[in-house]
Structure 1
Amino acid sequence: MKFSVTINRDEDGVWIVECPSIPGCVSQGKTKDEALVNIADAIHQCLLVRAEQGIPLTIETRQIEVAA
């Protein structure tokens, strides 16, 4: 399964990675590569917990227009 992630760097230089398709699934790392490895593990763990608790993974995306 493939998931899109967002990658940002905070003011302290820590890489923050989030999986928008799974609410609350966030990880971080000192390097971008470390953060990506960590989010892969976090996604795996989040999916396991959701399966154990019977919470379906419903992914919905939409495009919206925002006035600038």
Structure 2
Amino acid sequence: MTPEFRYEVIIYWSDEDQAYVAEVPELPGCAADGATYAEAISNVEVVIREWIETAHELGRPVPQPKGRLLYA
């Protein structure tokens, strides 16, 4: 597993969007959606990669994945 996919991803169904939403709490604003659970995961993997690439291009820090976070 590459480091960019070690971030915790929270997935939930959004009635408002009629889609599954995948959020990455450690990367502000990093989220994706999909018609299926698998599609949301696939889409968020792309967005994580793009988030990290953009941060590098802008000279911004990229947080190290902490693994499981406790939000509940």
Q: Displacement of 1:23 after TM fit?
A: 0.3
Is 1:54 aligned with 2:59? yes
1:25-47 Cα deviation digits (max 9, x unpaired)? 01000000000000000000000
Q: Displacement of 1:63 after TM fit?
A: 6.0
Count of residues in Structure 1 that have an aligned counterpart in Structure 2: 64
Please report the TM-score for the alignment, with normalisation by the length of structure 1. Answer: 0.82
Give the Cα separation in 2 of the matches to 1:60 and 1:34.
22
Q: Which has the larger radius of gyration?
A: 1
Q: Displacement of 1:59 after TM fit?
A: 5.2
Runs of 5+ unmatched residues, structure 2? none
Runs of 5+ unmatched residues, structure 1? none
Please report the TM-score for the alignment, with normalisation by the length of structure 2. Answer: 0.77
Q: Which residue of 2 aligns with 1:31?
A: 36
Greater relative contact order (Cα < 8 A, sep 6+): 2
Q: Which residue of 2 aligns with 1:16?
A: 21
Q: Secondary structure at the match of 1:27?
A: strand
Q: Which amino acid aligns with 1:3?
A: Y
Percent pairwise identity: 27
